[in-house]
Structure 1
């Protein structure tokens, strides 16, 4: 299991079009990065780092997987990323590993 810092670093390096592997509790998904997002924590605003994948293969083929971490402005420390598999799935799944599929 990767540390929170390693996961955040992988999210920051991700680029649109890149293939990523995300491992969450009981599931591993491969997909193409469709979006990336970063906003630093400001004086009154939460910071956010995130990405969205289009899952390729398996039971969830074609679904959107969003991975997101937030940071409060007073601590500026990002939380361990959480994954959501679709707009229908309200449950957040803790991200255990996130890496480029090529490496």
Structure 2
């Protein structure tokens, strides 16, 4: 399998992976940057709980992106958002690229 072509990954985001809930609220891991392609489009989606909600930014990155649902994401324009859904796209045996798709608030 191949990853998304590096030439497509024109943006950089900062992700603080969601690690769970603590005594004082959500707990996040150390921030890390990731090369990706960001599309700031309003889309109606179902979040991880099945609730219909709105995504205002979609991130397309290579396989293995560490961004669990609930992670904090800083977009290229500086806006901080939260990961609503995360999907790993693979196609074993087919000559298509693997990717990770993140829909954000």
TM-score (norm 1): 0.36
- Larger Rg computed on CA atoms: 2
Give the TM-score normalised by the residue count of structure 2.
0.35
Which structure is higher in helix share?
1
Bigger strand share? 2
